Amino acid sequence: MTNTSSDKFKVLKGIITAWICSAAFIGIGCWLSISLGWFSKYTINEIVAITLIPPTFSLVAGIAWAARTRHFKQNIDGSAPLNGTALDITLRYISNTTEQVIIFTLATICLAISAPKLSTSLLPILGCWFLIARVLFWIGYKKSPLSRAVGFASTFHPIILMLITATIFLLLK
- Residue 54 domain boundaries: 5-171
d(CA 173, CA 168): 9
The per-residue pLDDT for range 57-87, each reduced to its tens digit, is 999 999 999 999 988 888 888 888 989 898 9
Query: Using CA atoms, how far apart are residues 65 and 87, in angstroms rounded to an integer?
Result: 9
> What distance separates the 2 farthest-apart alpha carbons in the chain?
55
Model pTM score: 0.94
Tens of pLDDT, residue by residue over 24-46, are 999 999 999 999 999 999 999 99
- CA dist 166 and 164 (Å) reads 5
CATH number, residue 138 = 1.20.120.550
**Alpha-carbon distance 59 to 102, whole Å?**
11
pLDDT digits (tens, 9 = 90+) for 124-154: 999 999 999 999 999 999 999 899 999 999 9
If one counts the domains in the chain, the total is 1
> Whole-angstrom Cα distance, residue 38 to residue 18?
25
